[in-house]
Each structure stands twice: as C-alpha cells, then as structure tokens.
Amino acid sequence: MSQPVRISVVMPSFNQASYLKEAIESVLAQGASLHEFIILDGGSTDDSADVIRSYEQHLTYWRSAPDGGQTHAIKEGFDRATGDVLCWLNSDDLFLPGALDRVAGAFQQYPDAGVVSGYLYYIDEHSRVRECPQVLTGNPLLAKLGVVNVNQQATYFKRDLYHEVGGVDASLHCAMDMDLWCRLHLSGRRWVPIPAYLAAFRKHSEQKGSGGAWWDRYQEEKAKVRARYPSIYGSPLKQRLGLACYRFSQLASGRHLRATRLSRERAGLALREALPS
C-alpha cells in the first residue's frame, strides 16, 4: 500500500462498564491510523451505554441493543467498516500506544501482506501486568503442524481478505477467532509478525475462556473447528504433535513463567500510557 493505511476498529461490548472507559480511550489515543471506530453493545444492563454515549462524538457508529452475541456484533461491525484493514478489540482489553501506527507501517512495508500480528501483555482486572510473553503468532510452519497460535487482540487483516474467506462464522460463540485464523492461513496470503507489544489481554473470571458456564461450549467449538480443517489439524497424532509444539512455544516464550520484575516494570510503563489519567 502506497497510500496511508486506514484501520477500522470494531469493539463488541456487553456488561463490562468497569473496563470500557480504558478500552475506548486506548483506541481513541491511536492517532491518524485510526480510520473509524465502531462499538456494538449487546443491550448491556450496567452503565455501558452511558459510558459509550459519553464518547459519541468520537465514534463512527455505535448502538446498544440485544443481539446474537459477541460474534454477531463483530460481524455487524465488519460489515459496516470501510477501512483497508480490520481488527476487533474486546471491551475489556486494551491497545498499547502507537499500536495502529506500527501496524499501518507494516502493511506499507509489506504490501503483499494479508495479516499482521504482534505480541500482547496479560493483565488482570486491575490493569496490572502479569505476563509478558513473546509467543510466535501466525507462524505458517507451526500452522502446518496444527498450531494456529494467534494473539487476537494484536491481529489485523485486510478487509478484502476478510470478506474473501467468508468473514466470522456467526454460529460460533467462543472459537470464532480460531475458525477465522484457519481460513486466513489457508488463503495463502502473507502473514507478517511484528516483534513488538501491541495490545493487552485482560484475564479475569467473567471471560468466556476462563471456565464456568462457557467452558464446555468453548471446548466443543474448538473440536468442531479442528474437524473443519483437516489440512491444518489432520489426524489425532498430528493434533497431539501440534499441541506439544504449542506448549513448547509457550514455555520457550516464558508464557507460563512469572514475568520478571524488570519486564513487568517496562510493561507497566507502556500500559500506563494507554490508561486514562
């Protein structure tokens, strides 16, 4: 791309008012690379609508009404989006300062790229940095071994490619991202990793992947996605090999080790820049 890269950000939201202000401000702080910002709230019963309304003048579009869930909201947002590049940020996560400029620069440097992705911090419900992994993401060699290891909050893709592969599957409520990453890999378009922290993923007890009521459905949907893409996941033996490679990549990155004091301090400084004062 020789022209400036226009990035559209879609934020699905539901009953996360306590995190929403931080999430919104981390997007609005991104500067010129932010082309449009769309928030789709599923009819929250907390103060989410009031929080969103207070930023109304800075938003391209927003609504708060019952919908079909997170995937439905993401799909609606991407169908409305007009940017060259798409991404979604959940309402409890954060972009780090300058993230979209880095992404735009990568798409300009690699005009054949279909997807760009980077690292993310793991933070807790109080926005404290807990882990600073550097896990390989979007690696085509690992994908051939059945490891579709992607940091959703730090992944961005061309709008034409998104529609070319069919978009998100609205029948999936938990593994919609895993399903999309598989199709993006199978498209054959270049996936460019950025060796930089771009976002923060908030780990807390109410999220879908943390267990509880959503856990069984999450596991069922992951199994369904694996069955859909035999060229990636293949036989049970290949899946076991892929899982072993995934766990090794996690361990090699320090994902399961407590972040060092120095790395947490550096991450904390970067994160504080993203938080509202």
Task: For 153-179, write each residue's pLDDT tens digit.
Answer: 999 999 999 999 999 999 999 999 999
Looking at residue 253, its pLDDT comes to 61
Tokens of 100: 């979209």
Task: For 30-67, write each residue's pLDDT tens digit.
Answer: 989 999 999 999 999 999 999 999 999 999 999 999 99
- pLDDT grade for 270, boundaries at 50, 70 and 90: low
Burial environment of residue 1 by CB neighbours within 10 A (0 to 12, 13 to 18, 19 or more) = middle
Looking at residue 109, its pLDDT comes to 96
The more confidently predicted of residues 199 and 235 is 199
Core vs surface per residue 28-66: b (16+ CB within 10 A) or e: bbbeebbbbbbbbbbebeeebbebbeebeeebbebebee
pLDDT of 211 strictly over 70: no
Question: 35-44, 144-153, 176-185, 231-240 — which is least confidently predicted?
Answer: 231-240
% of the chain surpassing 90 pLDDT: 63
Going through the chain in order, the beta strands assigned E by DSSP cover 7-13, 34-41, 61-64, 85-88, 94-95, 113-123, 129-131, 155-158, 190-202
Looking at residue 261, its pLDDT comes to 57
Residues 6+ apart with CB under 8 A from 56: 62
% of the chain surpassing 70 pLDDT: 85
d(CA 165, CA 180): 8
Question: 32-41, 207-216, 225-234, 251-260 — which is least confidently predicted?
Answer: 251-260
Over the chain, what is the mean pLDDT? 87
Residues 6+ apart with CB under 8 A from 193: 116, 117, 118, 136, 137, 138, 139
φ/ψ of 252, rounded to 5, equals -65, -30
Looking at residue 1, its pLDDT comes to 47
Quote the distance between the C-alpha of residue 106 and its chain's center: 17
Tokens of 64: 């708060």
> Where do the domains of the chain lie, and which CATH numbers do they carry?
7-274 (3.90.550.10)
Task: For 255-264, write each residue's pLDDT tens digit.
Answer: 555 555 556 5
Tokens of 78: 């991407």
- Give the CA angle between residues 154, 100, 170 to the nearest 5°: 50
Looking at residue 267, its pLDDT comes to 60
pLDDT of 146 strictly over 80: no
pLDDT of 208 strictly over 70: no
